[in-house]
Homo-oligomer: A and B are copies of this chain.
Amino acid sequence: MISKTHPRYESLLLREKITKAYKEGYLAESGMIAHGRGEAFDYLLGEKTIYPAKRAMYAAIAQMLLANNPVISVNGNTVALAIDDIITLAKTINAKIEINLFHRTKERIDIISDLFKSKGYNDILGNNNDDLKYINDIESPRASASTNGIYTGDVILVPLEDGDRAEILAKTNKKIITIDLNPLSRTSKMSNISIVDNIVRAIPFMNSIANDLKAQNKEVLKNIITDFSNSENLEESLDFFKIKEEK
């Protein structure tokens, strides 16, 4: 039990969820290390959702609502931190959910599948090896994708994604949306829409705006996307990182 008075209470709660996911067997070691990197960047961001992240989330939801086949890619970290909110988002914007693990093992896939089932979500993709294809014929686990999910999807939300895999996705014609606390990461730079925020704050915010945007017509949604520049938005996001304390 973490004391609520601990100066890092909220952060320690998330760390506990990540450790639990590892012990339950569906998170790779590298997922724990990645969580630590995220902690550091969130710490420098003041652990709050910044304005450029919100702007990116409006563009992200608009892009997904305009998609023919929007897919949310989930890995161990995403499931550990945000499974309930991910399911809500998928239902609200009518997106598929695909399990896509950089360190793919049958055991991890099965545990995550079962977790979704235990939440009443039975349509998960990516849990059947026979159904996997390789993006751009790159025969690497980094390029695998399920036939009706990421492989044929046109807009893919890939939170907390590895840089090598993001690079492969970015070379397709798909629109790639990421959630990544490091605005300088390869994933952030290569995505079409990069949300610099902690996933535990981002997905609930996206849920909070999704119904509003669903009520808009397509022109409004297209304008939101046209007005959005990812490189400028990343540049603005950088300004919010404070390594120096306020005097």
Which A residues contact B (CB, under 8 angstroms)? 7-8, 15, 18-19, 22-23, 29-30, 32-41, 43-44, 163, 182-184, 186, 238, 241, 243-245
Contacts and interface: CB of A to CB of B under 8 A. Distances in A.
Given A41-B40, A238-B244, A241-B243, A33 B7 contact: no
Contact of A34 (B30, B36, B38, B163): B36
Contacts of A35: 33, 36
22 contacts: A8-B163, A15-B30, A18-B33, A19-B29, A19-B30, A29-B32, A32-B33, A33-B35, A33-B39, A34-B36, A36-B36, A36-B37, A36-B39, A36-B40, A37-B39, A39-B40, A40-B182, A183-B243, A184-B245, A238-B243, A238-B244, A243-B243
Nearest to A32: B32
Nearest to A181: B40
A120 B40 CA distance: 37
Contacts of A8: 163
A103 to B, nearest CB: 11
A157 to B, nearest CB: 23
Across the A-B interface, the 10 shortest Cβ-Cβ residue pairs: A36-B36, A40-B40, A33-B36, A32-B32, A241-B243, A37-B40, A36-B37, A19-B29, A32-B33, A37-B39
A153 to B, nearest CB: 27
Interface centre among A8, A40, A163, A184 (most CB of B within 10 A): A40
Nearest to A36: B36
A83 to B, nearest CB: 20
Nearest to A44: B243
Contacts of A32: 29, 32-33, 36
